[in-house]
Amino acid sequence: MHTIKLTIEYDGTNYHGWQIQPGFTTIQGIFQESLSKILGKATKIYGAGRTDAGVHARGQVAHFYLQKYFPLEILHRAINATIPNDLVVRKIEEVPSSFHAQYSAKGKEYRYYILNQSVRSAFYKKHALFIPFVLDCDQMKEALSHLVGTHDFFALSVAPEKMNTIRTITRADLFKEDNFRVISLEGTGFLHKMVRRIVGTVIDVGRHKIPCTMIPEILQSRNKGLGGLSAAPYGLYLISVKY
Amino acid sequence: MHTIKLTIEYDGTNYHGWQIQPGFTTIQGIFQESLSKILGKATKIYGAGRTDAGVHARGQVAHFYLQKYFPLEILHRAINATIPNDLVVRKIEEVPSSFHAQYSAKGKEYRYYILNQSVRSAFYKKHALFIPFVLDCDQMKEALSHLVGTHDFFALSVAPEKMNTIRTITRADLFKEDNFRVISLEGTGFLHKMVRRIVGTVIDVGRHKIPCTMIPEILQSRNKGLGGLSAAPYGLYLISVKY
């Protein structure tokens, strides 16, 4: 048996997220269908993690098991030929059988794109969050710096009460790219909606609705009501998964 | 009477180009409808030039006449509120009555985006031309340099026989932007499909199908069959109009 790792890019606009759900078009569902057709048998695919409806990926990772070897270059082309144009396998490789897209992952990088200009753009409607207000980027950067390290992120997630919500953020940054402000977060793991709640909170800091010095207090409070709302899914990109 | 200049951005994907055509959704048509509604009387809008179906604009320019003054900030918001999200007025300003978006134009800049990587992307399907082959950029740059100056561009257009097809290109450049190769052309005026035929020809040079030294010969021949085909519309952006 061969373990095959896929590095996947997708435009999440037209999908109900990564995870397979009966009655919905999901990215995992499309890939399982494609592989099952190509390999002639029902084939499961395991993702590094879920992404919500509308969230994009530059470097989602998934793996599946191949019973009989199949030249990878042909498999690569066959998969890309059977999936819609807004999904694509960027890279295919055989990995040791111990590899698991989710359990072997050591970290992930997410980026959130904010289009920060006074008038909306004709482009990016489903690919960045438009904010016409002035954002205080120094304050946002300071807020992000308070998130780095190992903290209980319960307050900035939608996790249930009894879950272990301690996570480590290794890098949290804000940079400019043309008219975009990009929030980049790297960590060993993220809770459901944690990135979008962090972004919503950091945007509130940038608009002077939350003082940046309040971030440690929000985390310590374990009170989900103190931070900002979840930022819209369509600004979010899963950039890479580290192994 | 007031002459109002608009700087317009649009995603051309869902439109049959700029120019009004009965039975088709066009950008000029949408703007005339919006202005006629807001101003309560049929209002014509004059563009700096046509763009074909699927072509985008970052800085198309148009003007219209306002009989009775209307605060421009309110007009700006009203227009943007009545047009679809893939069109937007970036700037509105009053200009001297002698101004005409088409006849006062001194030059235009177009850019053509080529996504040059081995595997397609999940993004940009309608916003860049995907080319998986290696492109010889040095040859392409040399080809572009042969286009600068005043030439008869009949051979690289779809213009009819008797038209004056002499035009001046003031700058022709190729640069890299992430995984994109961008062809930028500035000139005093462009014939119908001239930019896309130039791009198609320069891509053929990049693929070694046409030697770059043949460009002057193609122009001199006035033979429409020697150059490359029209590159797809969705890679093309009208960047700005100079006055």
Residues on chain A touching B85 (C-beta within 8 angstroms):
120, 122, 125
Q: Select from A88, A122, A125 the Cβ nearest to the Cβ of B121.
A: A88
Mean pLDDT of A93-119: 97
Residues of A in contact with B88 (CB under 8 A): 119-122
d(CA B78, nearest CA chain A) in Å: 13
- Count contacts between A and B (CB, < 8 Å): 49
Report in angstroms the alpha-carbon separations of B157 from A234, B57, B99, B167, B196: 40, 20, 28, 11, 8
Q: Three-state SS across A14-25? A: HCCCCCCCCCCC
**Of the candidates A56, A85, A90, which has its C-beta nearest B119's C-beta?**
A90
* Closest residue in chain A to residue B7, using alpha carbons only: A119
Distance from CA of A90 to the nearest CA of B (A): 6
> What one-letter code names the amino acid at A128?
A
Which residues in chain B have their CB less than 8 angstroms from residue A122's CB? 9-11, 56, 85-88
The angle subtended at Cα B110 by Cα B109 and Cα B115, nearest 5°, is: 145
CB-count burial class (<10 Å; 0-12, 13-18, 19+) for A4: buried
Task: Say what the pLDDT of residue A148 is.
Answer: 98
Q: Do B120 and A80 touch (CB under 8 A)?
A: yes
CATH of A2-95, one of 3.30.470.20, 1.20.58.1910, 3.20.20.10, 3.30.70.580: 3.30.70.580
**With an 8 Å Cβ cutoff, are B88 and A120 in contact?**
yes
Distances (CA, A) of B174 to A117, A222, B44, B142: 28, 53, 37, 10
- What's the rounded Cα separation, in Å, for the pair A120 and A170? 33
Q: What is the ipTM of this complex?
A: 0.87
Q: How far apart are CA B189 and CA B110, in angstroms?
A: 11
Where does chain A hold its CATH 3.30.70.660 domain(s)?
107-242
Is A53 within 8 Å of A15 (Cβ atoms)?
yes
Please tell me which of the candidates A10, A119, A122 has its beta carbon nearest to residue B10: A122
The amino acid at residue A61 is V
Predicted local distance difference test score (pLDDT) of residue B134: 95
pLDDT of B70 reads: 85
Of B9, B11, B122, the CB nearest to A11: B122
pLDDT-derived band of residue B239, with 50, 70 and 90 as boundaries? very high
In one letter, which amino acid is B15? Answer: Y
Nearest residue of chain B to residue A10 (CA atoms)? B122
pTM, to two decimals:
0.91
Residues of B in contact with A85 (CB under 8 A): 120, 122, 125
Q: What is the pLDDT of residues B35-79, one digit of tens each?
A: 999 999 999 999 999 999 999 999 999 999 999 888 999 999 999
Residue in A9, A122, A123 closest to B122 by CB? A9
Whether A20 shows a pLDDT value over 90: the answer reads: yes
Percent of chain B past pLDDT 90, that is, above it, reads 97
Q: What is the bridge-based pairing of β-strands A56-66 and A236-242?
A: parallel
Non-local CB neighbours of A206 within 8 Å, separated by 6+ positions? A135, A136, A137, A139, A140
What does the buried/exposed string (b/e) look like for B67-93 if buried means 16 or more CB atoms within 10 Å of the residue's CB?
A: eeeeeeeebbebbbeebbebbbbbebe
Residues of A annotated as catalytic (active site), given as ranges: 52
Q: Choose the mutation target among A82, A121, A126 for the interface with B, i.e. most B CBs under 10 Å.
A: A121
Helix axes B137-145, B194-206, angle to 10 degrees: 140
Nearest of B147, B206, B158 to residue B182 by alpha carbon = B206
Please tell me the CATH code under which domain B107-242 is placed: 3.30.70.660
Query: What confidence tier does A111 reach under pLDDT thresholds 50, 70, 90?
Result: very high
Which residues, in sequence order, are CB contacts of B156 under 8 Å at separation 6+? B194, B197, B198, B201, B218, B219, B227
Task: Provide, as residue numbers in chain A, all residues whose Cβ is less than 8 Å from the Cβ of B123.
Answer: 9, 11, 56, 86, 127
Interface residues on B facing A, Cβ-Cβ cutoff 8 A:
9-11, 56, 80, 85-91, 119-123, 125, 127
Q: How far apart are CA B186 and CA B205, in angstroms?
A: 20
Q: How many helices (H) and strands (E) does chain A have?
A: 5, 10
Note the residue count of chain A: 243
* Tokens 């209002």 belong to residue: B43
Q: Tell me the residues of A at the B interface, defined by beta carbons under 8 Å apart.
A: 9-11, 56, 80, 85-90, 119-123, 125, 127
Which of B11, B52, B86, B138 is an active site residue?
A: B52
Structure tokens at B18: 């700029």
Proportion of chain A above pLDDT 70, given as a percent: 100
Residues of chain B found within 8 Å of residue A73, distances taken between Cβ atoms: none
Chain A residues inside the 8 Å CB shell of B86: 122-123, 125
Q: How confident is the model at residue B144 (pLDDT cuts 50, 70, 90)?
A: very high
Which residue intervals of chain A bear CATH 3.30.70.580?
2-95
pLDDT of A142 reads 97
Q: What was the pLDDT predicted at A69?
A: 87
Whole-angstrom Cα distance, residue A135 to residue A131?
A: 9
Please report which confidence band the pLDDT of residue A70 belongs to, taking 50, 70 and 90 as the band edges: confident
